């Protein structure tokens, strides 16, 4: 069940700016009042993962959102890995109805985003941090 959500043109545009053009470190998506998924916020390439978590804390502590984060890390052999991770952010403080709608609409958004390495569903900041880092190990 997708709750009747549709995807705006800006969703793909913002994602391609992250994925192909490497203009953004992350994109945050929301579901507006008309049940349309849209790109709401982006972060510059210089933004760190900690900056991204702070954005979640300050702006979305009690609101559901989706995000794609382009995570870069140095692994044991000294090489860097860059992986796009899709995050469904549904904090416990969010309205229960909103949580249900976001979870039900995740696949509607997800099918428009190619090249995602991992998918994380999180309800706390600790979940986001741990799960995103674990997703780096996907192939």
Domain boundaries, the chain: 6-135
Of 57, 118, 66, the C-alpha closest to 90 is: 66
Residue 3 CB burial class (10 angstroms; 0-12, 13-18, ≥19): middle
Q: Which pair of tokens denotes residue 80?
A: 């860097």
Locate tokens 């403080």: which residue? 93
pTM: 0.89
Question: What's residue 1's pLDDT?
Answer: 42
Mean pLDDT, range 26-44, rounded to an integer: 97
Q: Please, which contacts does 70-75 make with residues 24 or more away whose CB atoms are closer than 8 Å?
A: 70/18, 70/19, 70/22, 70/24, 70/25, 70/26, 71/132, 71/133, 71/135, 71/136, 73/133, 73/136, 75/136
pLDDT value at 72 more than 90? no
Spatial CB neighbours of 121, under 8 Å, sequence gap ≥ 6: 87, 88, 90, 103, 127, 131
Which CATH number is correct for 6-135, 3.40.50.2300, 3.30.2350.10, 3.40.20.10, 3.20.80.10?
A: 3.40.20.10
Q: pLDDT digits over 2-14, tens only?
A: 458 999 999 999 9
Return the higher-pLDDT residue of 100 and 128: 100
pLDDT value at 139 more than 50? no
Question: What's residue 137's pLDDT?
Answer: 62
């Amino acid at each position: 069940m997708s709750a009747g959500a549709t995807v705006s043109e800006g969703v793909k545009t913002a994602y391609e700016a992250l994925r192909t053009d490497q203009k953004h470190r992350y994109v945050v998506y929301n579901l507006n009042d008309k049940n349309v998924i849209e790109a709401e916020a982006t972060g510059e390439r210089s933004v760190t993962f900690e900056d991204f978590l702070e954005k979640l804390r300050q702006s979305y502590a009690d609101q559901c959102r989706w995000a794609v984060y382009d995570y870069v890390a140095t692994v044991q052999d000294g090489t860097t890995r860059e992986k796009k991770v899709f995050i469904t952010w549904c904090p416990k403080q969010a309205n229960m109805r909103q949580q249900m709608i976001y979870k039900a609409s995740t696949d509607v958004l997800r099918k428009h985003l190619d090249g995602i390495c991992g998918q994380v569903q999180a309800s706390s900041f600790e979940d986001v941090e741990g799960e995103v880092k674990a997703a780096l190990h996907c192939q």
